Amino acid sequence: MAMDPATISAISALAGSFIGALASVTTSWFTHHSQSRSERFKQEAARREQLFGAFVDQASQAYADGVVQHGLDNPARLVPLYSTINKLRLFATEDTVASAESVLEKIVRTYEAPETASTVHDGGIAAHDILRGFAHSCRAELRELR
């Protein structure tokens, strides 16, 4: 069975058009998928940055309070920290959560054995930078998201 040259030309033209359209649709889909994924990562990074910042603010305030207080007279002062750590458990890596828990332990110990303002200066600033490990962990985590 021989095919008419006009039929072969028409089929070739239709096949070429179909392949071109399929390539265009596939390219558009991959581009959209890539952009959506990038946007999700940006949103996730922004969410974590906000959460990390909130923890830093709360921990700094609690630590400063622990330095000047003689004992934890109001445990409700630590509730925001516990709340934020549990939010971290939802989104952050295990290393970051462990760093946050370490910060909380240091804050509780500070309340239990408070330092006076004069002993704060004795150890230097680095000795009282309880958030350094947490900050490094957060930076590493955010770098992984980008």
| Phi, psi at 11, each rounded to 5° | -65, -40
User: Is residue 124 in a domain?
Assistant: yes
Nearest to 143 by CA among 99, 93, 88, 83: 93
User: Is residue 54 in a domain?
Assistant: yes
User: Is residue 28 in a domain?
Assistant: no
Q: What is the pLDDT of residue 34?
A: 86
**Look-up of token digits 């939010």:** 87
User: Is residue 49 in a domain?
Assistant: yes
User: Is residue 25 in a domain?
Assistant: no
Taking the C-alpha atoms of residue 136 and residue 18, their distance in angstroms, rounded to an integer, is 53
What is the residue range of 46's domain?
41-145
User: Is residue 95 in a domain?
Assistant: yes
Rounded to the nearest 5 percent, the helix, strand and coil shares of the chain are 85, 0, 15
pLDDT in tens, 69-88: 878 888 888 999 999 999 99
**72 DSSP 8-state letter:** -
pTM above 0.85, yes or no: no
The domain tally of the chain equals 1
pLDDT in tens, 99-145: 999 999 999 999 887 555 545 555 555 567 899 999 999 999 999 98
DSSP states along 79-96? HHHHHHHHHHHHHS-HHH
pLDDT at residue 1 tops 70 = no
User: Is residue 73 in a domain?
Assistant: yes
Q: What is the pLDDT of residue 118?
A: 44
pLDDT in tens, 26-37: 899 888 888 888
User: Is residue 63 in a domain?
Assistant: yes
